Structure 1
Amino acid sequence: MKVHPVEPGVDAAALLAGAQFIDAYSIAIEHAEFDARQAAENMLGRRPRWIETLMILRNRLVAPFGLKTPHPTTRPSADAVGIFPIVSETPARLVAGFNDKHLDFRVVVDVVASGGGQRVTATTLVLTHNLLGRVYLAIILPFHRLIVRTLLRQVAP
């Protein structure tokens, strides 16, 4: 399964007004039927070991700056998927993310019928608040792109 960068197909102003960074990646899943929550749970509910290691390192590095260091729960939750609180949810779209002092973040998981399966698109939106947010975003962007592609490949049941 191939993950492709796509033009973000979301109303950024409604999801995170003023977002300075937006990207989107999409994958087609054949012979699949699931809603946005199931796709988001498959994508964000578990992480490969290398991503988990990066997150542990990230949490250690940002803790002195007072940034949020979320930890995944082992139990499914009605109000979160993986480490991200759910902002809104419909069968076709799940929006998760949080606000912090350096930046606000949203991940949007959209699911639409496509041929004999479904297309899942993950869109990321970020609004930075200060220099720390801009520096943090610049540092994590190369990792972000690789992580999103990896996590999207986990959507397939």
Structure 2
Amino acid sequence: MPDANRSVLSVALPAESGVARLYDAPDLADAYAIRLPDNAIDDPELLARFLFAHQAKWVAKLLGLRDALVTRFGLKTSKELRAAISPGARDRVDIFRIYTRSAREIILGENDSHLDFRLSVLQQTRDTREGSARYLTLSTVVQCHNGLGRFYIVAIAPFHRLVVRSTLRRAALIGWPTI
């Protein structure tokens, strides 16, 4: 029987998320949720930092492969984004720029010549059979600017979904930071 606290669910983009209506017709829009334990911290920025700090090693290798391929097209690489971060800067989470913060959500993303994307880390309370429970929902929306962007999204979408699911599942296995 699956552990409810480690099951990653594919869900609709949450209506209350700041990314839900960001683009009129996004080229990619998805959301995945996982149940948080009652004693998990409730700061979306700290949860986002925890997620990105604990990704599987294969994710870094996949990102390295992505960087090697896209550099030929003049797209931003993760290495370039990391190099642009000043020590101690709090305007980024990992390689992603922080666009907005609130008590329940942080929106991260990046703009590039081929596409713009936003990633929401949203804490929600949902009704369950047992009452209510806290969930963390990662939502991604992408707006492509050209054919390269559309080709890129088609090529990476399956990997994106694997990475998001793996990241949420891994955080639950490691153990969410607690209050």
TM-score, structure 1 as length reference: 0.89
Whether the 8 Å CA contact 2:19–2:119 is kept in 1: the answer is no
1:54 to 53, 62, 66: 62
Matches within 5 A, 1:34-113: 34-71=42-79, 72=82, 77-113=89-125
Once the two structures are TM-superposed, the CA of residue 48 in structure 1 deviates from its matched residue by 1.4
- Structure 1 vs Structure 2: percent identity of aligned residues? 37
Runs of 5+ unmatched residues, structure 1 = none
Mapped pair 1:150 → 2:166:
yes
- CA–CA separation in structure 1 for the residues paired with 2:24 and 2:90: 25
Mapped pair 1:134 → 2:150:
yes
Match of 1:21 in 2: 28
Whether the 8 Å CA contact 2:18–2:120 is kept in 1: the answer is no
- CA–CA separation in structure 2 for the residues paired with 1:94 and 1:4: 20
1:6 to 5, 11, 19: 11
TM-score, structure 2 as length reference: 0.79
- CA–CA separation in structure 2 for the residues paired with 1:63 and 1:128: 18
Whether the 8 Å CA contact 1:4–1:26 is kept in 2: the answer is yes
Q: Secondary structure at the match of 1:15?
A: coil
Whether the 8 Å CA contact 1:13–1:19 is kept in 2: the answer is no
Runs of 5+ unmatched residues, structure 2 = 1-5
Deviates more, 1:92-101 or 1:36-45: 36-45
Deviates more, 1:44-53 or 1:100-109: 44-53
